[in-house]
Structure 1
Amino acid sequence: MPHLVINDNLAELAKTIYDYWFVQFDFPDENGKPYKSSGGKMVYNDILKREIPEGWEVCTFSNFIKDIKNGDWGKEQEEGNYTEKVSCIRGADINGLNGNGELKSPIRYINKKNKCKILVENDFIIEISGGSPTQSTGRIALLTNNTFARFENNIICSNFCKAISLKDEKYTFFFLKEWERLYHNNILFSFEGKTSGIKNFLFEVFIHTYPIISPQKNIIEKYNFYNIKVDENKQKNLQQIHHLQSLRDWLLPMLMNGQVSVE
């Protein structure tokens, strides 16, 4: 579908800008020129073993995190106090949530006292169990208002995932892209353990120990503003794709059994 090509292009553009600004350090300086290429001052950092822009710091992901929510699986049918109907995001649904496949999150019912586990705008879902020999655990997805428009119910994550929210939402897309960069560079393979043959992501160890850059806030705000528009377009395209797929699934059986025909 053409919308899939559009989504791929938008995602690639956001990734390219992230690389220029936060890996190569050619973000716009006060004159709108590439910082490092234009002679912006760089300072060697002993922790990262490389130069970073003057005024930038080194921290860990935990510095940005405000809350961590555990997942829930609830029950298949409504019973007793399990009355809160939700869509449950599993690790297997994260690719679909990101637009890289179909989204088939099951409907579950959670205990009404666990309504605090319902996710909200700008929460992240992170896979903590699963993976494969060629795919590490730790896949991540961001929930925006446009993401919620793809669901009829409130959303939780399964107990094989965790959800996190940030102290400052202006860091949302920086946090997301830095996490994705490390994931795609296979860094998260080094933060896995095994229990009963299942790979588990050492989430607490990773967020508290792995060093990352902490850019100046004005650069973060510029990058976040751009990505809000990119994500809005991406999620609207995904919503249209979902509607088209639902229409296909409704029409195809009727075409096959002759209930409807195409002239």
Structure 2
Amino acid sequence: MNKIKKYALSELYDMSSGISSTKEQSGHGAPFVSFKTVFNNYFLPEELPDLMDTNEKEQETYSIKMGDVFITRTSETIDELAMSCVAVKNYPGATYSGFIKRLRPKTARIVYPKYMAFYFRSELFRKAVTNNAFMTLRASFNKDIFTFLDIYLPDYHEQVKIGDMLYSIECKIQKNKKINDYLEEMANTIYDYWFVQFDFPDENGRPYKSSGGEMTFCKELNQNIPQNWGYTSVGNITVCFDSDRIPLSNHQRQEMKGTIPYYGATGIMDYVNCAIFSGDFVLLAEDGSVMDDNGNPILQRISGDVWINNHTHVLQPVNGYSCRLLYLLLKDIPVSMIKTGSIQMKINQANLNSYNILNIPDGIRSRFINQIEPIDTKIIQIQKENDNLKQIRNWLLPMLMNGQATIED
């Protein structure tokens, strides 16, 4: 068993706050680390997805160097406070958000960045944060919590072995995500070509609209659609299983640890030992964060045995529709048209079911589904592979970090 040594977090890292930026600065300039990037990643991406207009002094003060740890400083819930992300290279000219804290190592060869990325996301550290955090209107990670926290580390050589192995699993997960992003883009492009541009193949195999296919204005959809097409409502092509759902508390989830994905409104939150649904579904966020950056619904395409919490609509297509087609039809619905509430947004079932969408004729719909289903099948297959990799990682993580398991040289 490896010897584990206790350190005060403040003994190993200096903590700094991020930049206070204006709306006018965002979207152009130098690379920038946002709250969203930190929340969703163990490691900073190779290329940072956001930009911020900053000067040289700000870039020096709020710099990003290899080994830096970034921690979200606020959250609506304590459970999601202090989510972390680690830099494994330097990012020249980049800065980071004021909603993030930066932890910079004080000395070399005590903490190994790849190991620390998993340590800070481990259940051990997450419990330490939640036990020390306080909640008013929002949970907050501050200097007091930083000072109180202790961390428990094996020697540096052991950190390297563990960190490199777990990092290789994470790299595979990220590679799979890129493949799925490409497949999703391909499916979106085909859908756009068929049902936005209306250049689906006509009876002669030619693009319908570009070849002079007749169009007519549909006032219910407020757009031109092919002659003899119409509209229908979401409720006519879906079944919603909201009434069957049972929420689980954090304590219950801990008691029910297993291999069945437990979905929330934006992704897998945990794994439990039993399912309440089995099949193919589209999930749509019901309350809280219900829309993406473009104001459209937050959707997930899932398959298999699952448990789903009570913040998500569970939808299954009917009448000759597929889950992928349903997902594509719903993705561009403006949330403003189906939501209720002002402070706490909610998409209720009645509003969703009554929303009008394109009614695709049976023959064209069938041809589209035949073309798109191999892509959908591959996406689901890769999602399940990633779920398995994450479960392996999460199973290994505590045993490696508390010395119950070791990696041979």
The alpha-carbon deviation at position 86 of structure 1 amounts to 6.3
- Residue number in structure 2 paired with 1:131: 289
- Residue number in structure 2 paired with 1:141: 300
Confirm or deny that 1:241 pairs with 2:386: yes
Confirm or deny that 1:107 pairs with 2:107: no
Contact 1:67–1:166 (CA under 8 A) maintained in structure 2:
no
- Residue number in structure 1 paired with 2:137: none
Separation (CA, whole Å) in 2 of partners of 1:241 and 1:133: 25
Contact 2:237–2:321 (CA under 8 A) maintained in structure 1:
no
Query: Alignment length, in residue pairs?
Result: 227
Structure with more contact order per residue of length (Cα contacts < 8 Å, sep ≥ 6) = 1
Partner SS for 2:270: coil
Structure with bigger helix share is 1
TM-score by length of 2: 0.49
Separation (CA, whole Å) in 2 of partners of 1:199 and 1:229: 36
Contact 2:266–2:300 (CA under 8 A) maintained in structure 1:
no
| Inter-CA distance 256–119: structure 2 relative to 1 (3 Å threshold) | closer
| Inter-CA distance 180–255: structure 2 relative to 1 (3 Å threshold) | same
Q: Which stretch has the larger CA shift, 159-168 or 14-23? A: 159-168
Q: Which stretch has the larger CA shift, 134-143 or 233-242? A: 134-143
Separation (CA, whole Å) in 1 of partners of 2:385 and 2:239: 33
Partner SS for 2:369: helix
Separation (CA, whole Å) in 2 of partners of 1:226 and 1:233: 13
Matches within 5 A, 1:127-206: 127-131=285-289, 138-143=297-302, 147-148=303-304, 154-182=305-333, 187-194=334-341, 197-206=343-352
The alpha-carbon deviation at position 49 of structure 1 amounts to 3.3
- Residue number in structure 2 paired with 1:99: none
Partner SS for 1:105: strand
Separation (CA, whole Å) in 2 of partners of 1:170 and 1:4: 26
- Residue number in structure 2 paired with 1:43: 216
The correspondence for 1:63, drawn from 229, 236, 242, is: 236
- Residue number in structure 2 paired with 1:100: none
Separation (CA, whole Å) in 2 of partners of 1:214 and 1:171: 14
**Which string of whole-angstrom CA distances, capped at 9 and with x for unpartnered residues, describes residues 136-190 of structure 1?**
68422233xxx32xxxxx42321222223232243433221010122xxxx1134
| Inter-CA distance 172–3: structure 2 relative to 1 (3 Å threshold) | closer
Separation (CA, whole Å) in 1 of partners of 2:201 and 2:339: 37
Confirm or deny that 1:225 pairs with 2:370: yes
Separation (CA, whole Å) in 1 of partners of 2:383 and 2:290: 27
Aligned residues: CA RMSD: 3.2
The alpha-carbon deviation at position 251 of structure 1 amounts to 5.2
Contact 2:234–2:353 (CA under 8 A) maintained in structure 1:
yes
Contact 2:320–2:366 (CA under 8 A) maintained in structure 1:
no
| Inter-CA distance 48–244: structure 2 relative to 1 (3 Å threshold) | closer
| Inter-CA distance 3–260: structure 2 relative to 1 (3 Å threshold) | same
| Inter-CA distance 133–213: structure 2 relative to 1 (3 Å threshold) | closer
**Which string of whole-angstrom CA distances, capped at 9 and with x for unpartnered residues, describes residues 67-116 of structure 1?**
543321156549xxx9xx965321132xxxxxxxxx3335377xxxxx9x
The alpha-carbon deviation at position 202 of structure 1 amounts to 3.3
The correspondence for 2:227, drawn from 18, 29, 54, is: 54
Quick one: which amino acid aligns to residue 242 of structure 2?
K
Structure 1 residue runs without a partner (length 5+): 94-102, 110-114, 149-153
Separation (CA, whole Å) in 2 of partners of 1:179 and 1:121: 19
Quick one: which amino acid aligns to residue 92 of structure 1?
T
| Inter-CA distance 163–225: structure 2 relative to 1 (3 Å threshold) | same
Quick one: which amino acid aligns to residue 166 of structure 1?
P
The alpha-carbon deviation at position 203 of structure 1 amounts to 3.3
- Residue number in structure 1 paired with 2:195: 22
Structure 2 residue runs without a partner (length 5+): 1-173
Confirm or deny that 1:120 pairs with 2:274: no
Contact 1:18–1:177 (CA under 8 A) maintained in structure 2:
yes
Matches within 5 A, 1:73-112: 73-74=247-248, 76-77=251-252, 87-93=261-267, 103-107=268-272
Partner SS for 2:198: coil
Partner SS for 2:216: strand
Separation (CA, whole Å) in 2 of partners of 1:92 and 1:134: 10
Separation (CA, whole Å) in 2 of partners of 1:228 and 1:133: 26
Separation (CA, whole Å) in 1 of partners of 2:280 and 2:392: 29
TM-score by length of 1: 0.72
| Inter-CA distance 2–89: structure 2 relative to 1 (3 Å threshold) | closer
Percent identity over the alignment is 22
